[in-house]
Amino acid sequence: MRCLGGVPYCSLVATLLCFSGIALFCGCGHQALTETERLIETYFARNLQDYITLAYIIQYFQYVIYGLASFFFLYCIALLAEGFYTTSAAKQTFGEFRSTMCGRCLSSSFIVMTYLLAVLWLLVFAFSALPVYFFYNMDATCSTIDVLTETPASINQLCVDARQYGLLPWNAVPGKACGMTLSNICKTREYQMTYNLYVAAFAGAGITLLALLTYTVSSTYNFAVLRYLGRKGIGPRC
């Protein structure tokens, strides 16, 4: 029981959330980008030059995902270790424990870094909603086409133009899919998997943002108690 009392539960929960969120975001996001390139190549562009820029951008983002996975793995471990350091139960478990100026400076640095990282990740979270929005609109258009299958003249006017979303240049051919062609695309396994992968990546970004906010709150609380109440024997519990 004494050892369990030294566990920073808030930081531990945040670490688990961060690992699971990053795993979802990086794993699903990487595969979703690969499937997106395959969809664009198969259904929206006939010439390699039309989507070569998109292919380079996708490759660049995949390299960024590799870096994010490595960074967050190390950073979350560092935050968890900092949570153990700032837990008052550590002095009960490991003997006399006193905070130092260096320790308080380290804790405040983690607070600032985690806060800035949470703000930046909020932008990533918003950016990860864009492909979900694109596939949601595409799915809604396909649903409308399925309802209006008895009037082919009307459904041929329902299209999804990848050029309008900046995925392809305006001179790309065909650049868009309409009518039953679009409906058939929505029924393919590649489309369904890509859509689900983007939704999972978006959820992973949200979980990671929640983890960073949890880290920020718990670290701020720990630092405040360590700074003002540590000398009185009252220690942080997160």
- Mind listing the pLDDT tens digit for each residue in 43-98? 888 888 888 888 999 999 999 999 999 999 999 898 888 777 766 544 444 444 45
On average, the pLDDT of the chain sits at 83
**Strands 159-161 and 176-178, how do they pair?**
antiparallel
In this prediction, residue 223 carries a pLDDT of 73
pLDDT-derived band at 164 (thresholds 50, 70, 90) equals: confident
**DSSP annotation of 167:** S
Of the listed ranges 7-16, 18-27, 130-139, 155-164, the least confidently predicted one is 7-16
Q: Are residues 138 and 159 in contact, defined by beta-carbon separation less than 8 angstroms?
A: no
Which residues share a beta bridge with 159? 178
Tokens of 163: 């050029």
The segment with the largest mean pLDDT, out of 141-145, 208-212, 221-225, is: 208-212
3-class DSSP state of 116:
helix
Residue 81 neighbours by CB distance under 10 Å: 14
In this prediction, residue 204 carries a pLDDT of 96
pLDDT-derived band at 135 (thresholds 50, 70, 90) equals: very high
In this predicted structure, the answer to whether residue 39 has a pLDDT above a threshold of 80 is yes
The pLDDT of 177-198, averaged and rounded, is: 92
> Domain segments of the chain: what residues?
9-231
Handedness of CA 188, 50, 165, 199 (dihedral sign): positive
In this prediction, residue 157 carries a pLDDT of 83
What gap in Å lies between CA 146 and CA 149, rounded to an integer? Answer: 5
In this prediction, residue 203 carries a pLDDT of 96
Q: Are residues 199 and 180 in contact, defined by beta-carbon separation less than 8 angstroms?
A: no
Residue in 97, 98, 92 with CA at minimum distance from that of residue 5: 92
What gap in Å lies between CA 121 and CA 100, rounded to an integer? Answer: 31
In this prediction, residue 235 carries a pLDDT of 46
The pLDDT of 206-230, averaged and rounded, is: 81
189-207: per-residue pLDDT in tens? 999 999 999 999 999 999 9
In this prediction, residue 236 carries a pLDDT of 46
- pTM to 2 decimals? 0.85
Q: Are residues 190 and 40 in contact, defined by beta-carbon separation less than 8 angstroms?
A: no
In this prediction, residue 170 carries a pLDDT of 86
In this prediction, residue 156 carries a pLDDT of 80
